């Protein structure tokens, strides 16, 4: 669905870009017509109403292609929303980012409404998200402190790293080594080293088999999904296929631990895959917004530039009075301001729609991650080693923090747009007095 959406958006933008040189400007003749009509309004309320109606029609015609893109992009997004369904039903008390995401205040598209908007609502939301970030950070710090509050927990991390060494594995692991006498350790180390040197392929077969299995899980989503649906007995049989050559006999407890490690690694891989997938989709979700912003910048810059060129020509043509003042300057300035304001209203609406497209597309993009964190077992990995790949809480927390940061970034952008709209309305009201 994302690929179809991206393709359609790209085609629309190509059409706009190809036509921009001919249709993205407002002609001098059109501006002259608007000025001529404006001069007839004076203090006549009915004439002024007619003028603004005609002005609106001409601005609508000039912004037709931007409007066409906006409508098409909104239709594509509606299709995206229609086909999206959350994969998990969150229960009360579970982590769910969607409600907080939906609370995010957007830009105010109406210039008059923007002038009256209290910007405090943006800071209030930012404060709320910042508090969530702090609560997450405090929770992680508390868990790490609880798990690493004495020397034994620090030793656990060191042991986990040491157990990856082939010689240590041959000696029975760090626990077995620690229970040996000095003489026993020397003898066991010498024997283990000889076995590693004399049979390196054999020593690596178990590790290689496990690595091969993990690699397939990472690169083959269908296999990973099938493995997760297996019974415990089926998982044990699957593991044996990959570990047919084992130089060291393993008792039932060791095999059970190995199977548990495979299961945990598979779960950790799933989490990493979800995070990576959602990150990629979030990047893709920015494409319509980025390209739309680029087109809007180019379009409105051209329009405002055309208006200024026309204004200068009109200004230079105004006759001078005996006092060396331009006759009709005030009327010309106000006419220009009404034209600018009409386009600014269209621009504000366009940029607001682009922002809302980004908001909705991004929400759908991280939807699978939001499903995952609903039932995520926070704090269940008691005494987990920080060097253990299967300890996923820090990675999940980091992804959450990134989403909180995105909420704050988008809110600040919405606030900046609203302030820009407010400033344009205030300028219009001052110049039209």
- Across the 433 residues of the chain, what is the mean pLDDT of every consecutive 10-residue run? 42 40 71 91 85 94 89 87 88 93 97 94 97 92 63 52 51 61 64 52 50 71 78 73 53 57 70 87 92 92 95 92 80 95 97 96 94 85 60 88 97 98 96 89
Give just the sign of the alpha carbon dihedral 414, 417, 422, 423: positive
Whether residues 38 and 136 fall in one domain: yes
Domain count, the chain: 2
Residue 154 lies in a domain: no
Is 152 among the domain residues?
no
Do 283 and 416 fall within a single domain? yes
Domain holding 117, by residue range, is: 2-145+268-431
Contact yes or no for 106/418 (Cβ under 8 A): no
Q: Could you tell me which of 209, 213, 199, 266 has the C-alpha nearest to residue 243?
A: 209
Decide which of 265, 290, 313 is a domain's last residue.
Answer: 265
Looking at the fold, whether 260 and 335 belong to one and the same domain comes out as no
Do 284 and 421 reside in the same domain of the chain?
yes
* 150 in a structural domain: no
- pLDDT recorded at residue 142: 79
Instruction: Say yes or no: 175 and 282 in one domain.
Output: no
Query: Are residues 392 and 283 both part of a single domain?
Result: yes
pLDDT at 5: 40
Report the pLDDT value the prediction gives residue 188, as an integer from 0 to 100.
Answer: 60
Q: Does one domain contain both 279 and 219?
A: no
Between CA 197 and CA 97 the distance in angstroms is 53
417 shares a domain with 272: yes
Instruction: List all residues 6 or more positions away from 314 whose beta carbon is below 8 Å from its beta carbon.
Output: 35, 332
Q: Specify if 224 maps to a domain.
A: yes
- pTM of this prediction? 0.73
Res 320: pLDDT: 87
- Give me the sign of the Cα torsion angle 63, 69, 75, 78: negative
Look at the block and give the residue holding tokens 């400033």.
Answer: 423
pLDDT of residue 65: 86
Residue 290 lies in a domain: yes
Residue ending a domain, choose from 219, 245, 265: 265
Residue 270, pLDDT score? 77
Q: Choose the final residue of a domain: 220, 246, 265.
A: 265
């Amino acid at each position: 669905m994302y690929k179809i959406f991206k393709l359609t958006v790209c085609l629309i933008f190509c059409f706009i870009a190809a036509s921009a040189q001919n249709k993205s400007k407002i002609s001098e003749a059109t501006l002259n017509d608007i000025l001529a009509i404006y001069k007839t309004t004076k203090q006549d309320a009915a004439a002024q109403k007619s003028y603004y109606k005609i002005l609106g029609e001409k601005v609508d015609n000039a912004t037709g292609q931007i409007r066409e893109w906006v409508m098409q992009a909104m239709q594509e997004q509606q299709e995206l929303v229609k086909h999206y369904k959350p994969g998990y039903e969150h229960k009360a008390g579970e982590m769910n980012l969607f409600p907080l995401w939906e609370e995010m205040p957007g830009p105010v598209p109406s210039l008059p409404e923007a002038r009256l908007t209290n910007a405090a609502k943006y800071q209030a939301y930012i404060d709320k998200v910042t508090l969530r970030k702090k609560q997450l950070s405090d929770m992680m710090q508390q868990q790490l402190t609880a798990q690493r509050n004495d020397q034994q927990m620090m030793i656990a991390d060191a042991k986990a790293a040491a157990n990856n060494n082939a010689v240590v594995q041959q000696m029975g692991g760090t626990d077995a080594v620690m229970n040996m006498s000095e003489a026993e350790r020397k003898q066991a180390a010498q024997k283990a080293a000889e076995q590693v040197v004399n049979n390196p392929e054999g020593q690596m077969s178990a590790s290689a088999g496990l690595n091969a299995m993990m690699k397939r899980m990472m690169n083959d989503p269908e296999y990973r999904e099938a493995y997760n649906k297996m019974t415990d007995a089926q998982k044990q049989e699957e593991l044996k296929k990959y570990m047919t050559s084992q130089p060291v006999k393993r008792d039932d407890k060791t095999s059970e631990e190995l199977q548990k490690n495979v299961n945990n690694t598979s779960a950790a891989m799933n989490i990493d895959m979800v995070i990576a997938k959602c990150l990629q989709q979030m990047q893709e979700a920015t494409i319509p917004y980025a390209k739309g912003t680029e087109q809007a910048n180019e379009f409105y810059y051209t329009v405002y530039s055309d208006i200024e060129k026309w204004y200068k020509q009109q200004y230079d043509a105004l006759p001078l009075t005996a006092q060396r003042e331009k006759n009709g300057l005030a009327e010309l300035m106000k006419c220009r301001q009404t034209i600018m304001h009409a386009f600014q209203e269209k621009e504000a609406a366009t940029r607001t729609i682009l922002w809302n497209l980004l908001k909705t597309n991004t929400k759908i993009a991280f939807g699978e991650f939001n499903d995952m964190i609903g039932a995520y077992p926070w704090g269940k990995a008691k005494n987990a080693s920080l060097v253990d790949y299967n300890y996923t809480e820090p990675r999940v927390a980091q992804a959450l923090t990134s989403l909180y940061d995105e909420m704050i970034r988008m809110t600040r952008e919405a606030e900046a747009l609203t302030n820009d709209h407010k400033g344009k309305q205030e300028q219009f009201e001052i110049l039209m007095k």
